[in-house]
Structure 1
């Protein structure tokens, strides 16, 4: 009921993109339901990309349910997985352009995903700054597929973009589309990579210190007395590889015995369901159960939480979980996830500032920025039973 009503408000234009919605307390009183029910409804709408949360500010509308998220950025389909957008408030014509934007500078943005998880917040940060500076925005999504990335890059070049913000596709592998980035350099079109970068190019980039984040998550658990800790990591993106490095480093620096079988990995094709299947036997055998799990991101952490529920295991009483990204999903369940932060909207805004400065030839922006993460401790972690730290 709550979810349907909020969706109807957005569809009818009573709540517009960027508008703040009622608080959990207000919605609970309006509908006569518990705050837990409201929280679940909001969490579902955040996951669908209709709402987004800003820590300390509230929950906001991000899209209209009558449009895809790409179209909510005034997009027009260009085919081959690419959607193009204009800055907010300007309608797109059949070709994806409107006359009002003909003379405006156009920034391309390519991300692996658009409509879910932390991506709406990153894109909103980019869009807000570009719109304020009078730029238009062309948005594309690769689905973490290198062939789609190739098509997106070609379409961006065909559109005559003035600058490009891009999240690499499968950044831990060799990228076959390097020539497109070299073409950008040849044409003197500035580009910036976010979240990771292709090491072959060493381009300007904004990234999180993922190694430190993986270390902080694991060190937190070790300090709570955990030693049998499983790490789940996605390995075709450098974020996952670096988080795994931090995981291993925490064992070494704390002089805790490391068991190789306690690291489980997966790739984009396999998706998180594959690693969940490989995790399940840990809780079905006769060996001592893991007491804690470090997850590649919060999405995976929620899937692990579901598995543990099915196994009849309580979090954090029997198993502790740490996620990564401190996304809205970290607070979407009744068990609030301990999670490593990601700058999200700040990164998006910083990326937009960087690319505008580069396009306009302002003072040289920094070649790279590394955001230092924090660990946000919530109710999904606790001292291991029987440890000296329990009490």
Structure 2
């Protein structure tokens, strides 16, 4: 039998205040002295108390729920994350509510506020991050002691995290291309609202700096997160370049950008991989059913959603406040038909599709 969760009466009793005062602190209303507010917040944290959701009518049992805020509703990557989170939620008796910010700060904030208004027990968030990001809604979640797990690190916010080492994964993909004899490379970067975009650029730079290759700012092509972004950027970048000035390999922010790039190259009469090798990132299921099977960095997307939901539920159901956890899942490079070794280069030995993999492994990082 699960331990009884603390109530607002428990908070009021231990803090030596009225229920109305506790409510005023939780809702940030009324005039409460700073010392009293701090005492109430300290008790809330010590009890791991969370405000109950809206009451149900007719005496029906309240439905337990988790919220998941993604960034792109049309990205198959998130479909696999959602499937994993839903499986874990339903196994534990929770309903999963999914919302998308579409890369907009205001939309993310509204989604988080709506989830709170609907009384969700906790949130999984893929945050919108750039130099203009307003993170006050995340600090508000912490103030209300509503548990949340991030799928992308937010500097300055102490919260649980499930992610992959994007920099290392990107670096290994470029090291593979270098081992295949490619010395002229560019990277089609992702949107500025994702820290993952910069981390993957950093991985490319690290791989090149450890080799004989000079990789400057002109090696980064700003694309985006969608297939049309890769298509547009590909046409713009390759259309006016003679064959002698083209890169022999391109790494991409994600698979959608890579697929858009491949279409633009096909329209320009540039053959993949004979003239240009292309590497994606994420390894979405769709890749197995395309005429040109894309080399990609495999991210364990189902496991990411599943583990994040399980981690969140542990925070929700704990009688004590749990410290933030950070879990980094392993990635692997899956080599398919969109890359080739240049003549004269040593053939790299890389695990191919169908061979044994270890993408389910994980490593914990304590902070």
TM-score of the aligned structures, taking structure 1 as reference length: 0.69
Change in 2 beyond 3 A, CA 1:99/1:215? farther
TM-aligned CA deviation for residue 362 of structure 1: 6.7
For residues 186-197 of structure 1, the aligned pairs below 5 Å read: 186-194=143-151, 196-197=152-153
TM-aligned CA deviation for residue 208 of structure 1: 1.1
Change in 2 beyond 3 A, CA 1:333/1:324? same
For residues 1-391 of structure 1, the aligned pairs below 5 Å read: 102-169=61-128, 171-176=129-134, 178-194=135-151, 196-236=152-192, 237-267=194-224, 271-281=229-239, 284-285=241-242, 287-361=244-318, 364=322, 367-384=325-342, 386-389=343-346
Which structure is larger by alpha-carbon Rg, 1 or 2?
2
Change in 2 beyond 3 A, CA 1:128/1:180? same
Which blocks of at least 5 consecutive residues in structure 2 are unaligned?
A: 1-53, 349-367
Distance in 2 (alpha carbons) for counterparts of 1:221 and 1:135: 44
Distance in 2 (alpha carbons) for counterparts of 1:239 and 1:168: 11
Distance in 2 (alpha carbons) for counterparts of 1:233 and 1:315: 19
Q: Number of matched residues?
A: 291
Distance in 1 (alpha carbons) for counterparts of 2:86 and 2:222: 34
TM-score of the aligned structures, taking structure 2 as reference length: 0.73
TM-aligned CA deviation for residue 335 of structure 1: 1.6
Contact 2:232 2:264 in 1 (8 A): no
Change in 2 beyond 3 A, CA 1:215/1:134? same
Q: Secondary structure at the match of 1:340?
A: strand
CA deviation vs aligned residue, 1:283-307 (integer Å, no higher than 9, x gap): x336432111111111111111111
Distance in 2 (alpha carbons) for counterparts of 1:377 and 1:100: 56
Distance in 2 (alpha carbons) for counterparts of 1:291 and 1:252: 18
Distance in 2 (alpha carbons) for counterparts of 1:205 and 1:99: 38
Distance in 2 (alpha carbons) for counterparts of 1:300 and 1:227: 22
Change in 2 beyond 3 A, CA 1:309/1:98? farther
TM-aligned CA deviation for residue 316 of structure 1: 1.5
Distance in 1 (alpha carbons) for counterparts of 2:153 and 2:130: 9
| 263-272 vs 128-137, which moves further | 263-272
2:362 alignment counterpart = none
Contact 2:71 2:100 in 1 (8 A): yes
TM-aligned CA deviation for residue 365 of structure 1: 7.0
Q: Secondary structure at the match of 1:321?
A: strand
Distance in 1 (alpha carbons) for counterparts of 2:120 and 2:277: 47
Report the aligned-residue RMSD: 2.6
Q: Secondary structure at the match of 2:245?
A: coil
Q: Secondary structure at the match of 1:230?
A: strand
Q: Secondary structure at the match of 1:118?
A: helix
Change in 2 beyond 3 A, CA 1:100/1:339? farther
Distance in 1 (alpha carbons) for counterparts of 2:75 and 2:306: 18
Change in 2 beyond 3 A, CA 1:157/1:390? closer
Contact 1:221 1:292 in 2 (8 A): yes
Change in 2 beyond 3 A, CA 1:144/1:99? farther
